[in-house]
Amino acid sequence: MPRTVRDVVFVDGVRTPFGKAGPKGIYHETRADDLVVKAIRELLRRNPGLDPKKIDEVAIAATTQIGDQGLTIGRTAGILAGLPQSVPGYSIDRMCAGALTAVTTVAGSVAFGAYDIAIAGGVEHMGRHPMGEGVDPNPRFVSEKLVDESALFMGMTAENLHDRYPHITKLRADEYAVRSQEKAAKAYANGKIQADLVPISVRRTNPEAGETGWGLVTADEPMRPGTTLENLSGLKTPFRVHGRVTAGNAAGLNDGATASLIASEEFARENDLPVKMRLVAYSFAGVEPEVMGYGPIPATEKALAQAGLSISDIGLFEINEAFAVQVLAFLDHYGIADDDERVNQYGGAIAFGHPLASSGVRLMTQLARQFEEQPHVRYGLTTMCVGFGMGATVIWENPNFDGGSK
C-alpha cells in the first residue's frame, strides 16, 4: 500500500545550561546521562497533554559513547527519565551534528509513518570524556595521505580554513566573537534564553575547604559578557605559532544536554501540542577533513536545492559557532555581511558553549523562539560544521508566518 509523506514539526525543545568542562566546571560531579534525563523530564513537564506511552522513540546523540555516555544512551536515559519501558531508544554519533542528526533521523521516520512522535537530542560531557577519548585512528589515514594529520585536531582545521580564506583575518574573527558575546548578553537580559533552560541541581566540592555542597545551575557558564577586542587581541594561538584561532574566537570545551519533541503535524494538532517549526528540508555534505569548517556551505546548497529555495528566501540563520572563521566563510560565500541582523540574533556557541553532540537542538530552540517573535519571517535554517569534514543543514518554515516579506 503506497504511503504518503507526512508533514514533520518541531513541537518543543529544551536544554540544560551549558558548563565549562573540567574540574572547575559546574557539572564536574554530574553524570552525563543525568543531564539528558533532566532534559527529557522537562519536555514532559512542559507538555502535560502528551501521554508518555505515545512516544515512539528516544534518539540521543553523544560523540564519545563510553562511560556515562555509553550503554545505548537513548534507551537508558528514557528508562531513567521514567518513560514506559515500551518506549525504545538508541544512540547516534555524528560528532558536532549529533543532536541535529537525531532530529533528522526521527523526522524521516515520522514522515514515513513509522513514528507519530519521538524525542531527539544529544549530550556531551567533555570534562569526563574529552573528544577522541579511547579512539584509535587507523594509521592509513596519515601513511597513505588520505587526510592531513591536522584533520584530527579541530583547532588546526580552523587555522587551515583561515589559510584558505586569507582575507578572514584574526581581527575580523575577534570582531565577530565580540558581537556574539554582546548578542548573547542582550538575549539573556531580555529573557530570550532562560525559558528553554532546565535548572540543574549540582554537587560541588571545594577540596581546599574540605566542603561539599549543592547548588542550582540556571545560566550558561561559558559566557563572557563585556568581552572587548582588547581582551581578545592578546590571547594565545594554541594551534599554530602566530595563528589566528584563540579561545576567544572559538567555542570552548563544554558540558551539556538537549532534547526535543519531533512529531507529525497531524499528531501534534490532535494532541493539542505546540507547533513551533515545520521541517522543510535537510541535507548533509562531506568536505575535505582538513577544512571541516567549510561543511555548512555545500550542505546548505543541497538543502536549498531540495526545498526549491534560494539563500535570499532565508529570513533567519542559526549557525553554530564552532569557530568564528567557519561562520565568516559561510557568510562570505553567500554574500551576507558579518553583522547581518538575520544571523544568530541571540548570539552563538562562542558565548554559550558547544557541548558537541548536543548543540544542534540549541540552534533549533533559539530559531523557534525567533519564529514566534517574528511572524514576518517564513523560512529559517540551522547549520553547523562537523568533525572529520562534514556539514549539516536543516531548513524550517515558520508556522506563525503572516505573509510578510520573508
Q: Kindly name the residue from 28, 125, 129, 385 that is annotated as catalytic.
A: 385
Give the CA distances from residue 335 to residues 54, 312, 331, in Å, rounded to whole numbers and listed in that order: 45, 10, 6
Pick the catalytic residue from 125, 129, 162, 354: 354
Q: Round to whole Å and give the CA distance between 344 and 351.
A: 11
Gap between the Cα atoms of 335 and 325, Å rounded: 15
Residue 272 identity (one-letter amino acid):
D
Strand partners, 19: 255
354 a catalytic residue: yes
Integer Cα distance of 292 and 160 in angstroms: 9
Residues with Cβ within 8 Å of residue 173, at least 6 apart in sequence: 162, 244, 245, 249, 323, 324, 325, 328
Mark whether 96 is an active-site residue.
Answer: yes
Residue 314: enclosing H or E segment and its boundaries? strand 314-319
Active site residue 167: no
Q: Where are the alpha helices (DSSP H) in 209-342?
A: 229-233, 265-270, 296-307, 324-333
Q: State the residue for C-alpha cell 521516520.
A: 109
H helix intervals, 191-318: 229-233, 265-270, 296-307
Distance set, CA 227 to CA 183, 207, 353 (Å): 11, 30, 15
**What is the rounded CA–CA span in Å between residue 113 and residue 129?**
36
What is the sign, positive or negative, of the torsion defined by CA atoms of 354, 273, 216, 123?
Answer: negative
**Catalytic hit among 96, 125, 129, 162:** 96
Quick one: cell of 400? 506563525
Nearest 5°: CA angle at 23, between 213 and 358? 100
Residues carrying an active site annotation: 96, 354, 385
